[in-house]
Amino acid sequence: MQRTLKELADLVGGRVAGDGSVVVTGINSIDEAGPGEITFLANPRYASRLTDTKASAVIVTDAKLSPKLPAIVVPDPDLAFAQVAGAFADHSVPRRRGVHPTAVVGERVTVGRDVGIGPQCVVEEGATIGDGTVLEAQVYVGRNASIGRDCLLYPHVSVRDGCILGDRVILHCGVVVGADGFGYVTVKGVHHKIPQIGIAVLEDDVEVGANAAVDRARFGRTIVRRGTKIDNLVQVGHNVHIGEQCLLAAQVGIAGSTRVGHHVMLGGQVGVSGHIELGDRSIATAQSGVDKNLPPGTIASGAPARPRQQHLRGLATVDRLPETLRKLKRRIEELEKRRGPGQE
């Protein structure tokens, strides 16, 4: 694939500065880009790196940042570069169409137009696969599960019985949607399994990273609302509700029945207790342990999590503690010397 700089500028709604006829054949970082490739500069502090780049063009916020290279000028170079990358990616990886002869498709399965079902996939009876959806090798779709339009399920994904995916959902290798929630009742030291008879629902434009799991509900639904992005190795427990446009980084764990508002951000390895609420646009920084409700807009840190400024003050106090103790020790020694021997 190749595009002129002007064509790419039209694609992202930007303005060309310099020669718009420059041909772009690929994308890359500032340091690794070569002739024919386009790069981007999101932070003006790194503008000096454009001096040595071998890229043929760059995406910037201001043409003055790139006096020598032809440029596309946009308000948000990150977003524009993502759009350009998407255009190149769509052409670089052909998507399969049709049903591979080794796939097993059950009875009463509804398969839409332009669907691809790869080698050794299993689609159980009563399932629905929407138009344009692709199942790569060894994907499992359970009984009566429903997958929307233009979804992409990478190898070894499992969507269990009755679960629902909206449109344009992306599930990376090893994702499991609809495994049983972690529910047991203990009687006289013996753990008895509680049947998990609900489902899991992922709405439109949700993306889930490799080896993550979204458990089915005990009753009703576990829900991930539209546009939410989930990183690798994340665990979403049963009956959790996650709002729209949230970001969950790697190794986040959310215990059952917790409610997460919209545009919430959870950093890497954040643990969230069950049966609590995280307000809209709240943030828990990496390795936080959230065991209480977070009001909307809160930035929390630490374990147990508390408002970030309070957490930082606590860390600063601990850091100062050794020196404070040394000063107190010296002061006590001085007072003892002044008091003299035999005085109490």
Give one DSSP letter per residue of 115-167, joined into a string.
-EE-TT-EE-TT-EE-TT-EE-TT-EE-TT-EE-TT-EE-TT-EE-TT-EE-T
Rounded Cα gap, residues 182 and 331, in angstroms: 56
Query: Which of the residues 156, 172, 238, 241 is marked catalytic?
Result: 238
Rounded Cα gap, residues 290 and 305, in angstroms: 5
Model pLDDT, residue 92: 54
91 is catalytic: no
Q: Domains of the chain: which residue ranges?
A: 3-92, 100-306
Model pLDDT, residue 341: 64
CATH class of the structural domain 100-306: mainly beta
Model pLDDT, residue 310: 82
Model pLDDT, residue 55: 95
Neighbouring C-beta atoms of residue 328, cutoff 10 Å: 10
Model pLDDT, residue 291: 96
| φ and ψ of 60, to 5 deg | -140, 170
Rounded Cα gap, residues 75 and 98, in angstroms: 41
Model pLDDT, residue 90: 66
pTM of this prediction? Answer: 0.86
Q: Give yes or no for a contact between 246 and 260, defined as CB atoms under 8 angstroms apart.
A: yes
Model pLDDT, residue 316: 82
Rounded Cα gap, residues 200 and 180, in angstroms: 10
Domain 3-92: give its CATH superfamily: MurE/MurF, N-terminal domain (3.40.1390.10)
For the chain, which ranges sit under pLDDT 70?
90-94, 340-344
Q: Give per-residue pLDDT as tens, 286-299.
A: 999 999 999 999 99
- Interacting residues of 317 by C-beta distance below 8 A, sequence separation 6+: none
Model pLDDT, residue 117: 97
Model pLDDT, residue 161: 98
| Fold: same for 3-92 and 100-306 | no
Q: Give yes or no for a contact between 108 and 125, defined as CB atoms under 8 angstroms apart.
A: yes
Residue in the block written with tokens 């753990």: 191
Model pLDDT, residue 193: 97
